[in-house]
Amino acid sequence: MSIAVQATGVRREFDGRVVLGGVDLEIRRGEFVALLGASGSGKTTLLRILAGLDSPDAGEVLVPRQRTVVFQEPRLIPSQRVLGNVALGLPRGAATRETARAALAEVGLADHARAWPATLSGGEAQRVALARALVREPGLLLLDEPFAALDALTRLKMQDLVADLVARHRPAVLLVTHDVDEAIRLADRVAVLGGGRLVLDEAVSTARPRDESDPAFAALRRRLLSELGVTPAGQAVAA
Amino acid sequence: MTAVETGFAESESSESSEPSESFETSETSESFESSESFESDPTEAPLELVTPQVRRERRRPRGLAFALRALGPIVILAGWWTASATGVLTKDLLASPPDVVRQGVDLWRSGQLSEALTVSLGRAGTGLFFGVVVGLLLGVTAGFSRIGDDLLDSAVQTLRALPFLSLVPLFMVWFGIGEAARIILIAVATTFPMYVSTSGAVRNADRKLLEAARTFGLGKLATVRRIVLPGALPALLSGLRLSTTLSVIALIAAEEINSTAGLGYLMAQAQNFSRTDILTVCILIYGLLGLAADILIRALERVLMPWRAAVGGTR
């Protein structure tokens, strides 16, 4: 498979504090990579570097020209209707409106095209953000904890929706998350960032759709949690 | 093969189809068709990769910013100087920069200038103070409470539409030709920009924060002081800028009311004797006053809104 992201030796410091100390990451086209890490481990910094919102102090980054980001908050523009938000930055015209409408239909919000962002629920707003990211057919889709602010039920639905949309559009995906289950459920590969490096990077071999009761799921979950510094004792009780 | 084609057609549907490219891609993916279905289709085609161009805000050296700011006034000064030196501007039209500087120094030495400045700044400052306080109070009332808005806004907006210069004769009748009339005129003039900025900003206070404040049992006054006013500060300070400028304009008008001291008086005298050098000194002083006020308010911004500087940096 061809390469969509090639990052080598990415380094980033903030006021002398090393957040990324030489990270190597490669994502193939159409591959879904989940990046886990404790709070402050530099997950978001790496994502911002791949998005072109921040530049590394050292190292090389190669990404597709067309990349889009879904942030933790929807970041919809309050002065534009939902359709306008989805079509944001695209050339104006009837064709664009149709594409945007189709993208909205894909996230199940076809009848909200004329709504103002302020009137949407959190889950709906995040679905609009997702439609806005996918309507450009990105080579790389960057998801920065997009479900973190949603309630548990909406989160599960959103995860299914993302899995479905990604399977259909096949962008390379980097999902930054702190939710181990979410990472295993969605990703082709999971990586763990710790101490400024990738301390773990492995393919998820469990067959889809993935079930938490699968022993392989549970084993991977345990290993990821221990990499993230969660004590296995509490884990044993939960399992 | 058909599955591959439809999948591909969908992902490319937004762009105008380029037959040659699509053909190439579907051919490459054909060889992988036997593998798992989600491992096939256009992901095999090589993707053009780029290094992202980051728009990073670089910190400019302080000196550069200052030099750039000084550039405009220097260009104007240089133009004036050349025009005077080459004789395009004659003395009876506008005095040359050296003459103006000399005259300024003379006026300062004789004490006339410092006396006029003290008197004028006192008037402008007092008027501005009352104007800003009244504008702030009215603005918060109108912006924060619906009944206040209903009662005040249309009245203030009507008054605001009156050119304050047209009030000068009326004020002379009402308040006499003394100091009070001048200060009231400046206060009235400076109330309105402050009112417009304040009421607008207060009306747009963050509803979520107001809601949070209510759940914590904050009273109305505390809410205004802790949440509404800090949120409105940027707008308040731009209102203050407008008011400050206007206070100087109103000052000139006010000092035409039978005054015997102040910058306006100095100008009136110079006008009578066609002294363009003194006139220019006064005009320059008005300009410098505006500049000083601007610098002061910028400093005020930094002092009053320390939380803004905190997010100016990285991340």
3-state secondary structure chain B: CHHHHHHHHHHHCCCCCCHHHHHHHHHHHHCCCCCCHHHCHHHHCCCCEECCCCCCCCCCCHHHHHHHHHHHHHHHHHHHHHHHHCCCCCCCCCCCHHHHHHHHHHHHHHCHHHHHHHHHHHHHHHHHHHHHHHHHHHHHHHHHCHHHHHHHHHHHHHHHHCCHHHHHHHHHHHHCCCHHHHHHHHHHHHHHHHHHHHHHHHHCCCHHHHHHHHHCCCCHHHHHHHHHHHHHHHHHHHHHHHHHHHHHHHHHHHCCCCCCCCHHHHHHHHHHCCCHHHHHHHHHHHHHHHHHHHHHHHHHHHHHCHHHHHCCCCC
Size of interface A-B (CB pairs under 8 A): 77
**Whole-prediction pTM:** 0.68
- What share of residues in chain A are helix, strand, coil (percent, to 5)? 40, 25, 35
Are the Cβ atoms of B14 and A52 closer than 8 angstroms? no
Are the Cβ atoms of A1 and B43 closer than 8 angstroms? yes
Instruction: With beta carbons under 8 A apart, name residues in chain B contacting A62.
Output: 49-51
pLDDT tens digits along A77-117 = 888 899 999 998 788 888 999 999 999 999 999 999 999 99
Q: Count other Cβ atoms within 10 Å, centred on residue B94.
A: 18
Are the Cβ atoms of B11 and A62 closer than 8 angstroms? no
CA distance A17 to chain B (A): 13
Are the Cβ atoms of A53 and B38 closer than 8 angstroms? no
Are the Cβ atoms of A63 and B52 closer than 8 angstroms? yes
Where in chain A are the domains? 3-77+139-214
Nearest to A3 among B49, B50, B51 (CB): B49
* Residues A20 and A11: beta-carbon distance below 8 Å: yes
Nearest to A137 among B11, B39, B46 (CB): B11
Q: Which residues of B touch A (CB under 8 A)?
A: 7, 10-15, 38-39, 41-54, 56, 314-315
Are the Cβ atoms of A49 and B51 closer than 8 angstroms? no
Which uninterrupted H or E stretch holds A81? none
Are the Cβ atoms of A62 and B51 closer than 8 angstroms? yes
Q: Which residue of A has its CA nearest to B13?
A: A99
CA distance A64 to chain B (A): 5
Rounded to whole angstroms, how far apart are CA atoms A223 and B230? 48
Residue ranges of E strands in chain A: 3-14, 17-28, 32-37, 58-64, 67-70, 140-144, 172-176, 189-194, 197-203
Is some CB atom of chain B closer than 8 A to the CB atom of A200? no
Are the Cβ atoms of A4 and B49 closer than 8 angstroms? yes
What single DSSP character describes residue A139? S
* Residues A117 and A80: beta-carbon distance below 8 Å: yes
Instruction: With beta carbons under 8 A apart, name residues in chain B contacting A51.
Output: 52
Q: Which residue of A has its CA nearest to B7?
A: A168
Q: What is the pLDDT of residue B5?
A: 38
Question: Residue type for B124, please?
Answer: A
Q: What is the pLDDT of residue B35?
A: 39
Q: What is the pLDDT of residue B236?
A: 94
Q: Which residue of A has its CA nearest to B6?
A: A168
Between helix B112-144 and helix B263-272 the angle, nearest 10°, is 130
Instruction: With beta carbons under 8 A apart, name residues in chain B contacting A104.
Output: none
pLDDT tens digits along A1-44 = 689 999 999 999 988 899 999 999 999 999 999 999 988 889 99
Instruction: With beta carbons under 8 A apart, name residues in chain B contacting A60.
Output: 51
Rounded to whole angstroms, how far apart are CA atoms B17 and B22? 8
What's the rounded mean pLDDT across residues A48-65? 92
Q: Which residue of A has its CA nearest to B45?
A: A2
Are the Cβ atoms of A61 and B51 closer than 8 angstroms? yes
Handedness of CA B124, B129, B133, B139 (dihedral sign): positive
Instruction: With beta carbons under 8 A apart, name residues in chain A contacting B10.
Output: 168
Are the Cβ atoms of B43 and A2 closer than 8 angstroms? yes
* Residues B184 and B254: beta-carbon distance below 8 Å: no
Q: What is the pLDDT of residue A107?
A: 93
Pick the CATH number of A3-77+139-214 from 3.40.50.800, 2.30.30.90, 3.40.50.300, 1.10.630.10: 3.40.50.300
Q: What does the pLDDT profile of chain B (315 residues) look like in tens digits?
A: 333 333 333 333 333 433 433 333 333 333 333 334 444 556 677 888 888 888 766 677 778 888 888 898 899 989 999 999 998 888 888 888 888 899 999 989 998 888 989 999 999 999 999 999 999 999 999 999 899 999 999 999 999 998 888 888 888 889 888 889 999 999 999 999 999 999 999 999 888 888 888 888 888 888 888 889 998 999 999 999 999 989 988 988 888 777 788 888 888 888 888 888 888 898 888 888 888 888 899 899 888 888 876 655 333
Q: How confident is the model at residue A232 (pLDDT cuts 50, 70, 90)?
A: low
Which of A3, A17, A29 to mutate against chain B (most B CBs within 10 Å)? A29
CA distance A133 to chain B (A): 14
Q: How far is CA A123 from CA A88, A130, A143, A154, in A?
A: 20, 10, 15, 6
pLDDT tens digits along A143-199 = 999 998 889 999 999 999 999 999 999 999 999 998 999 999 999 999 999 889 999
Q: What is the pLDDT of residue B183?
A: 93
* Residues A2 and B45: beta-carbon distance below 8 Å: yes
CA distance B52 to chain A (A): 5
Enter the ipTM.
Answer: 0.70
Instruction: With beta carbons under 8 A apart, name residues in chain A contacting B9.
Output: none
Instruction: With beta carbons under 8 A apart, name residues in chain A contacting B42.
Output: 29, 170
Rounded to whole angstroms, how far apart are CA atoms B292 and B285? 10
Are the Cβ atoms of A52 and B42 closer than 8 angstroms? no
Q: What is the pLDDT of residue B219?
A: 85
The CA-CA-CA angle for residues B189, B191, B197, to 5°, reads: 120
Nearest to A64 among B49, B53, B315 (CB): B49
Instruction: With beta carbons under 8 A apart, name residues in chain B contacting A137.
Output: 11-12, 14-15
Q: Count other Cβ atoms within 10 Å, centred on residue B3.
A: 11
